[in-house]
Amino acid sequence: MKVDSSYWKKLWILFFTFAKIAALVVGGGYAILPVVEETFAKKYKWLTSDELLDMMGLVQTIPGIIACNSAVYIGMKIAGIGGVLAAAFGVCLPSVVIILIIAAFFPHLNPSDPWLLGAFTGVRACITGLIILTALRMAGKVLKGWFAILIALGVFALVMAGISPVYAVLGAMPLGIVYACWKRAADKRIREAGGIQK
């Protein structure tokens, strides 16, 4: 069976993009979203920004590393099982190589070296900027109604009070289901009454 060359191109882009993310973008799952959005939503238009936001919500509710879960999700959406393998291999390979190098040389580094401390300070500041950028982009696209704003503020307050984010996410899911059912019923009543939904 002949495979279309565009399919192999997708596999290469998935592998290369997630290898680049794993090698260069540090700071966890939130920090990868700008790179993923720029590549797959804006440049190639294989996914929409809304799909990526849904992905971020989904991958945080299941066990595993966010970057790897994201690679599997995006790979499947774009190129099926082949995409899953390409993206997952891409996201794992640089991490394995880098951690092997660090494990071999890090014990011999001087933790008080100003060059090393300066590098880590710059990386931490960069990660903070990426997370803030991701939060602002998500807020602009998600917080469009009173329900979403209330949930966001409630979760913020709970986490600041020391409640585990896991419980906050698990609590938000049934609330979202109840709201969706209520909104659907309300929209149905409006249509049946001949009203116009605004």
d(CA 102, CA 165): 31
Q: Where are the domains of the chain?
A: 5-142, 144-198
How large is the average pLDDT for residues 77-91?
Answer: 92
Please report which confidence band the pLDDT of residue 103 belongs to, taking 50, 70 and 90 as the band edges: confident
Residue 198: per-residue pLDDT: 44
Residue 76: per-residue pLDDT: 93
How is residue 6 written in tokens?
């565009």
**Other C-beta atoms within 10 Å of 21: how many?**
23
Of all residues in the chain, the percent with pLDDT exceeding 90 is 12
Q: Tell me which residue has tokens 């951690």.
A: 99
d(CA 11, CA 46): 13
Please report which confidence band the pLDDT of residue 28 belongs to, taking 50, 70 and 90 as the band edges: low
- Residues 93-97: contacts with CB within 8 Å, 24+ apart? 93/19, 93/22, 94/19, 94/22, 94/23, 95/22
- Residues 39-48: contacts with CB within 8 Å, 24+ apart? 39/13, 40/74, 40/78, 44/13, 46/10, 46/77, 46/78, 47/74, 47/77, 47/78
Most confident of 29-43, 167-181, 184-198: 167-181
Say if residues 68 and 32 touch (Cβ distance below 8 Å): no
Q: How far is CA 110 from CA 17, 114, 119, in A?
A: 33, 9, 13
Q: What pTM was estimated for this model as a whole? A: 0.59
Residue 94: per-residue pLDDT: 86
Strands (E), 12-134: none
**Other C-beta atoms within 10 Å of 19: how many?**
21
Q: What is the pLDDT of residues 129-149, one digit of tens each?
A: 877 877 787 787 778 888 888
Residue 81: per-residue pLDDT: 94
pLDDT at position 167 over 90: no
**Phi, psi (rounded to 5 degrees) for 162:** 105, 5
